Each structure stands twice: as C-alpha cells, then as structure tokens.
Amino acid sequence: MTARAPLVVVGDALLDEDVRGDVDRLAPDAPVPVVSGARSARRPGGAALAAWLAARDGREVTLVTALGADASSRAVRELLAGSVRLVELPLHGALPHKTRVLGADRPLLRLDEGEGRAREATEEARATVRAARGLLVADYGRGAAEVLRAELERAAVRVPLVWDPHPRGEAPVPGTRLVTPSAAEAAGFARRLAPGPAHRVASPGSGVLEQAARDAAVLLRAWGVASVAVTLGERGALLTHGETPLFVPAAVSAHGDACGAGDRFAATAAGLLADEALPEEAVRAAVAAATRYVAEGGAAVVAHGRPGAEPAPPGARELAERVRARGGTVAAAGGCFDLLHAGHVALLEAARRTGDCLIVCLNSDASVRRRKGPGRPLVEAADRMRVLNALECVDAVAVFDEETPERLLGELRPHIWAKGGDYARSSLPETRLVESWGGQVLLLPYLDGRSTTSLAERAARPPAPAPEGSA
C-alpha cells in the first residue's frame, strides 16, 4: 500500500464535551426535560477534531493551533497526545469549551465558555506551513488562520490546500484547491459577497441542489479558488470548478449525531489531495467517510477512544443496546459477502425476519485473505460494506479482523446468530459463546448453486464459441 502523505492542519482548537442522560419526564417547576443518569465525555473539537480524524486515517498529522495554560487547553493536549504533533501559537484568553447536554441522544442545550484567540504567529508555525506537503485550514474564527495568512497564501501556490470555512472566520486564500462549506454556510457567504440581485435565489421548488450550485459559483468567483464542494448533509455534496457541477450522492442515508461530520469530510478530502488524488476522487471519498462517521455514532466515536482504538463501530453496538433496552430481539449474521449474490440476499432477508434488527459481522480484507487465499477478497471491505448497507434488511455492518467474529459477538451479544444451512451446527466455534448469554444459533436455508467461488470461476472462463453459421 502506498504511504499516505503527511498533513498539516492549521486552525482553531476547541474542547467539546457531551453530557448524555435519559429523559422520561419534565421538571415540576418548568416545562423543561429532566436529564437523569448523566454521563460526561470530552473530545477534541474544531481544528483539533479534524487533526484527530486525519490521524485516525493512519496519517502523520501536525496541528498548528493556539493553546494556553488554561484547563481546556491542557485537556486538548492530553486528548491529542500520542496521535497528533502540536505546534502551538500563543493564546490570548481561555480556549473555547463547548458543552452539549443530550437527552435520549437529542441535543437539548449548549453551554459555551472561553473566548480565546490566537495572538500571533511564531517562526516554528511559519516554518511548519512552509514545509507542508498538504494543508487543511479548519477555520473556526479564532485567529489561527488570520495570523498565518501570508504563509498560507504562499503555500496555496505550491501544495494542495483545503479550507473549511466558518461564518466568523477568514475568507479562503486565493488559489485554495478546495473549499468545503455546508449548504447553510455557502448561502450565507454568497449573500454577503453578492447581495441583492447579484445573488440570485433559486426559484421556489427548484431544490437544494440548484441553490447550492448558484452559491458555489458566487464563492468560486469571489474568492478566486480552484473548486468548491458544498456539503449537503445526508444527501452528499456538490462539487464545482466553474462549469457544470458534479453531484456526489451519499451511498446510504445515515441518521444520527452529525456533530463533526464536516470535519470528517474536510480531513478526508485534504488527506487525499495531499496524496495527489483528483478533487472528484477526494470528494467522493469524503462523502463516504462523513456518511460512515455519522452511521457509526459520530462524536461518540471520538469520545470513547484514540485513533484506531475503537474495537467495534458504535453504530452497531449502540443499535444492539437500543433494541435490547426496548425489549426487542437483536439478530446478527456473519461472513465475507464477497461478490454479493442471491444466496447472500436470501440468507440476510431470512435472518432479519428472526429479530427486530439485523447486524452483519463482516470479515475484513485481511481476514478474508487468511480464509480464502491471496486472490481474495475480490471486493474490498469498504465496497462490501456499502453494498450491504444498501440492503433494506440490513440495519448495521461491523467489520472484524480475526478468524472468527467471537470478539465482536461478545460486544454485540445478539439474541440470534444466523448462519447459512451449509454449516453443520457442531462446527461453529461461536455456538458456545452465543449460548453463554442465552442467545440462540440458527441455521437458515441456503440457495443451492450460489457461491462467490462459482461465480468467480464462471466469470474467468473464456466465452463459448458461437455456433457455426450464426450471424
């Protein structure tokens, strides 16, 4: 595998905190929800989150940001330790600390503290920008991009630079390779840059895509940047270089906590542009990464572990917990699902009918190679996940890297573990484990004559010669 290019992130770090609890009543003295059993979790926010996510991709990441001696700055240093190299700018004031209060996973309230700003650039920070091979500016309007603007302008001429803007922040420097506003941000910037008739609002009923295209065209001209990708939430993103825009749809609709999805999008795009990918390739991958981020639990992923340390996607685990909590039945099925075919679909549809949700435990690429040989998988894990998630009968997908899914099953603890009927029950190593928590192993009918191996063999055969005399 080609080594991933290092990435320098310039921007404003924040400290984010979530206080989660249960809500089942209103307070007697005011019509406000009562949050009980509150649990608090902190995570890096702003540019620090973007840097953390880029490091989670296996990159060497340097974050140039303003930090001070306050408690929030110390917390961010601890959260990034061991994963992100820090180049610190002097901070005037206390680092911003944002606390969300959530009940039943829905935001109820946000508390903001700290108004700290970057005071000035340092020679180390300037040298870091000059040496960068790829740059991401995560501008949250707290001065980091402002004090390094001259260096960023020079860098944009020679290396790919992605700018994730903020309404309170700086305009991107001319020559920026890709700017990544949300639809709401793009509309706000466009209104400011081309007020009145110059900023045409799309006609009623024309939809989000037409408005995003109009706004992106305004930003492209006004800012002098190479391309703009307007992020559209669960729809995907719209990319324009000034001609006909490219719509990149999300493969699946991911419903969940979208906090940080914009940082996930920008970090993915910036890393791939540093790897010399085309903007179209970078935006497609960024849409997929942001969708997966939301589907797997969003901010909860960041709050529960360091890069690479999350043992199972929280989306699958939390789904299992929610279904159990309401008295439902959790079903799970596993396999390689390489070249998804009718036999697979029949098995998964049958498995889904055994419970109130179906979680698919998917062999990683390395696990498939160990089981099937060096020529497999034919389809990499990211694409296999995408196809499985597109099936109506599948509620979540979790990848495991071992020979068998026992570790993952131990986390999910399904009531039903479904396998195809071509397995003998006694040969399943998971049987004893599943039964240890009162679960049940079920064999389901398997469609005869369908297998990935036979499909691959038939595809590899040369076509049969045409009968003599046929036209």
What's the pLDDT at 421?
Answer: 65
pLDDT recorded at residue 23: 84
**pLDDT mean values, one per 10 residues, the chain (471 residues):** 83 93 86 86 94 92 97 96 96 95 84 94 97 96 96 97 94 97 95 68 62 94 96 92 89 75 96 94 92 78 50 69 88 91 89 92 90 84 86 90 90 92 62 93 70 50 60 52
Q: Catalytic: 383?
A: no
Q: What is the model's pLDDT at position 471?
A: 52
Identify the pLDDT of residue 453.
52
pLDDT, residue 203, reads 46
Q: What is the dihedral of CA 370, 372, 375, 381, to 10 degrees?
A: -70
pLDDT for 190? 94
The answer to whether 63 and 9 have CB atoms below 8 angstroms apart is: yes
Tokens of 65: 């940001």
Question: Is beta strand 416-420 parallel, antiparallel or unpaired with respect to 440-444?
Answer: parallel
Task: Please tell me the distance from the alpha carbon of residue 390 to that of residue 453, in angstroms, as a whole number.
Answer: 23
Among 66, 69, 72, 70, CA closest to 89 = 66
**Cα 264–113–192 angle (5° rounding)?**
60
Please tell me the predicted confidence (pLDDT) of residue 348: 92
Catalytic residue among 257, 263, 275, 365: 263
* Cα–Cα distance, 469 to 178 (Å, whole number): 58
